[in-house]
Structure 1
C-alpha cells in the first residue's frame, strides 16, 4: 500500500494490457517511441527508449528527464494476441453465424438497449460490423441474381438459335446456379480481403468473443490472466517506486479482475511500491452488462473500494469506440457505499488536440481509440508519457483532481448479480 506522503519516482514498472488486438507488441513499442518523442518536443522534456535486456515479456526501457528529474521505466506488454487470433474464425459462414449469436445475446438480454442509454457511439461501433456484414451479404445476393440472370438470358438465346433444343435447359440451369454462387462467394471473399480497412470481420470477432460466454471469461483467458497476475505480483516485491498497470479498451476489464485477484490474495505488500491502475478507452459495460459477467461485476465492486491502489479512468467523448465518461462501477450498478474509485476524467480531444489535428483525426475512429497512447499538441493534465515516465505516482499526480462533471454515474445495467 502506498505511503501517505508523496515521494518521487525514480524507477517504475509499467504493465500494458492491450485490448482485443492482433497487433504485435513491437508496434506498441514503436508507437511509444514515435509519440513520446513528439510529446517531448511539445512539452519540453527528454525521453528515450532502448530494448529490454531481460528475458520474458516483450517490452522496452524508458529513460526520461522531466523538470530536472530523471526516471527509468521498464514497460512490459502482457500479450494475449494469440488467444485473440485463435478466437477469430477463418471462414465466412462461421463469421455470419457469430453475427446471429452475438446479436441474439445482446438483444435478448436487453443489454443492447441499456447500453444505448449511456453512449450511442460504442453501440453504433458494435452495430457497424453487423450492418457492414449484412450489406456485404446483400451485395453478394445481388451478384448471384445478376450473374444468374445473365446466364439465363444467354441460355435462352442459345436455345433460340438452335431451334429450341430442350435438353440444353438443364445444363444452363446448373450453370446459372453455379455461376451465381461463384459470383456471390467472390464478392464475399473480396470484402473479407479488404477488412484491413473496413474492420467488419475484426469487430464482429471482438464483440462475439464476450457474447459467446455471455460475459464470463473463457478458461484460456483466465489462465493467461493468472499468469499476468503472477508477473505483476513479482514486480510488487521488487525495489521499484511504482507499479503501474495500464489497461486499454477491453484490456481494462482484464486488468480489473487481475488486480482484484491480487489484492484478495494478499499479494500487494503494504510496504511495497505504490500501485496504480490507468484504464484507457474502456468498454467495460459491453461485458459487465451481460448476464454471466458475475466475476467482472464482483471485481468491479471490490476494486472500487480498495485503498491498496489508485485507479484513474480516462476516456473522451470524441472516442466513438469507448464508453466515454461512464463510471464502469456505477453504471454496472455494483457501486458499494464506500466506493472511492475510479476517478473518471476526460482526455477532452476537442480541447487537447488543435483544431487542425482534430479535423485530421475526427473521422478516423479506430485511430482515435488509440489517441490515449499518443501525443497531444495542446496537452492538458492527461499526458500518457508523464504518467508512465514522470516522477509522480499516479496517485500523487491526480490527488485532489475532481472527476469530470459530465461523467455518467447512475446504475443502468439490468444484471447486477456478483455470484453465479
Structure 2
C-alpha cells in the first residue's frame, strides 16, 4: 500500500492529470479552452503563472501545462478520458423514444422510492431532475391541446378523418419545434442524462464498462511513469465513474510505491445512481475506496451549485460507510464567499454554468484552487493534510438500497 506521509511530503515536479467529464456530448477541446481561459484569469488574480501548449505524447486528447506557482515550477500533462461518443449515441433518440424514456426514468426513481429519499438529501439536484420531465410534459400538453383545437375546427367544415389528420400533424409539428429549440432549454438533453443511469436501474451499461476498463488501463500506465503524482479528476457523473475505475485499479494491484495517487471529485451526483436498486457495483466501490490508503480522495461541492449533491458525503449518505472509513474529505468551494459579490450575483441563476465553476477562476479563492491543484507544486495529499472536513457536510444514510456487488 502507498505511504501517505511520504506522499504528503513530496513536492511535485511532474504530474499526470486525468479528467473524466460528466454526461456531455461536447468535443473535449471545450475543456482545454476552459482550462486555458480560466487558468489565465486565476493566474492574474492570484499572482502566479500558467502556460499551456499542445500535448507532446501520443494517445488521447489533452494538453501540457507549466505552472510557476509559489516559487516552484511544475510540469503537468492533462488527458481527457473521452466518453462523449457514448453520450452522443445515447442521445440519438427521436421524440417518441424520448417520451418513452421519460416514463421509464420516472418509474425507476418513483417505483424504487429513490426519488423521495433523494429529495430529503438535497432539493436542488432534484429540481434539476424534475425540470426535463415537467417541461417535456408541458410541451406534450401544449401540442395535444393545439392539435385538438385544430382538429375540431377542421372537422366542422370537412370529414372527421381530415380533422384527425390535421390534429396529428399540428401536434407533431409543435413537438418537433420544441425539439429544435432544445439547445436553449435543454429538456431533451437532461432527460437523456437521467435516463442513461436509470435505464438499468443503476447498473453500468456494457459499453460504459468497456470504456471504463480502457480508462483504468490509461491510468495504470501513468502509475508506472516517472511522475510524482497521478491525479484523477471526476466532474459530475464522471465522479462516480472515477470511483469504480480507481477501485478496480487498486484491486488489480496497479497502485504501488510509485507516484502519489489523488482523486478529486467535483460537483458529484453520486446519489442519483447509488440510490437505485441495481447500483450494487457502485455501492461496493464506494465502500471499498473509502478505506484505502493508496490514495487521497477530496470531494468538492458547493451549496450554490444546484445540480450537485452539495456537501453530501457520497459514501455515508448511500449507507455503505465501513467503521474504518477515511474518505472522502468533503469540503465546500463556498461560491458565495470565494466569488466577489458582483460575480456571484451575475452567476447565481446560471445553474449549468455554476456546475462548471469548480474548474474556473475564483475572485477570492480559499484553500480550493483548481489550477494550484492540477499545476501546482503540492500533491493532493500534501495540500489538504490536516484539513478538517466541512462542518455542514451531510452524512445521514438515506438510501433504501445498500446491497453491494
Q: State the TM bucket, normalised to the shorter chain.
A: over 0.9
Distance in 1 (alpha carbons) for counterparts of 2:5 and 2:134 = 52
Q: 2:237 touches 2:268 (CA, 8 Å); kept in 1?
A: yes
Partner of 1:320: 306
* Pairing partner for 1:284 from 242, 257, 270: 270
Partner of 2:325: 339
Partner of 1:81: 84
Map 1:49-88 → 2, pairs under 5 A: 49-88=52-91
Partner of 1:4: 5
Partner of 1:370: 356
* TM-score, length of structure 2 as denominator length: 0.98
Q: 1:89 touches 1:95 (CA, 8 Å); kept in 2?
A: no
Partner of 1:244: 231
Gaps of 5+ in 2: none
1:62-106 deviation digits (Å, cap 9, x = unpaired): 011012100010000000011111112431000000000000010
Partner of 2:259: 273
What is the Cα-based RMSD across aligned positions, in Å? Answer: 0.9
Distance in 1 (alpha carbons) for counterparts of 2:341 and 2:169 = 48
Partner of 1:47: 50
* Pairing partner for 2:177 from 165, 170, 190: 190
Distance in 1 (alpha carbons) for counterparts of 2:397 and 2:112 = 17
Distance in 1 (alpha carbons) for counterparts of 2:262 and 2:387 = 15
Distance in 2 (alpha carbons) for counterparts of 1:93 and 1:325 = 37
1:360-394 deviation digits (Å, cap 9, x = unpaired): 11111111101101011111111000000000000
Gaps of 5+ in 1: 156-168
Map 1:3-402 → 2, pairs under 5 A: 4-5=5-6, 6-153=9-156, 155=157, 169-170=158-159, 173-269=160-256, 271-402=257-388
Count of residues in Structure 1 that have an aligned counterpart in Structure 2: 402
1:372-420 deviation digits (Å, cap 9, x = unpaired): 010111111110000000000001101111111110012110000013x
SS in 2 for 1:117: helix
SS in 2 for 1:235: helix
SS in 1 for 2:230: strand
**Offset of 1:107 from its aligned partner?**
0.5
* TM-score, length of structure 1 as denominator length: 0.94
**Offset of 1:244 from its aligned partner?**
0.1
**Offset of 1:149 from its aligned partner?**
3.2
Distance in 2 (alpha carbons) for counterparts of 1:281 and 1:258 = 18
